[in-house]
Amino acid sequence: MTDGNRRRQIKSFVKREGRLTPGQQKALDTLWPQFGIDADDQLLDMAALFGRDAPLVFEIGFGNGASLLEMAKQQPELNFIGVEVHRPGVGQLLKAIEEHQLTNLRVACTDAVTFLQNQIAAQSVMRVQLYFPDPWHKKRHHKRRIIQPAFVELLAQKIHPGGYLHMATDWQDYAEQMLQDLSASVKFRNSSPSSDYIPRPDYRPLTKFEQRGHRLGHDIWDLLFQRV
């Protein structure tokens, strides 16, 4: 039994799994041994996992994987790990990895917070990417947002000095909270010249969701903080 006075650990997701297509299920069944990472409590050996040493990019919640796939294609000099709890998206990305014959992208299907804690070594990540996380827009649910001071501290442990945390959201109040929480940390420095937001970097592709938002006049806020 858990202590009722202890705060519930923030998770990186809420389970809302859709239906798997036959192709996604086949990818999970056949491609997982090659491209998937099982969740356990052992630190990953990145050189063994990728067959090389290269800077690591870690993405939390990649959705259907289209954006992450494009980044891995455009930046072959980097290693990428994406974590997503929704199996249809994982299956979709596994299919795409095989179709494009990528060797620099691996996938995990679990809670990203626990995965970071247990399987990613300290100061081993060049960049953490958190794009369009669940905004938990109702004020009483803000405590469920993944960006919280405790999680910022965990990220500071995993990102090496000089590395980056890159976040993006289409909810202004979440952007303001992210800005506040990261600015309060002595372990991160805002890369924005105006100490707030940055234009979308070229390495982050526009998603279909984002393109639709632009057509509807929605704003997007990108935040980039460097580990000091």
Considering 3, 41, 134, 170, which one is annotated as catalytic? 134
3-state secondary structure at position 203: coil
Nearest CA-CA partner of 219 in 174, 156, 160:
174
User: In which element (H, E) is residue 126 found?
Assistant: strand 125-131
Show the tokens assigned to 70. 């494009």
d(C-alpha 132, C-alpha 178), whole Å: 12
Amino acid present at 163: G
Cβ atoms within 10 Å of 215's Cβ, excluding its own: 8
Nearest CA-CA partner of 116 in 83, 86, 90, 67:
83
- Side-chain-side CA neighbours of 219 within 13 Å: the count stands at 10
Q: Is 45 a catalytic residue?
A: no
What residues act catalytically? 134
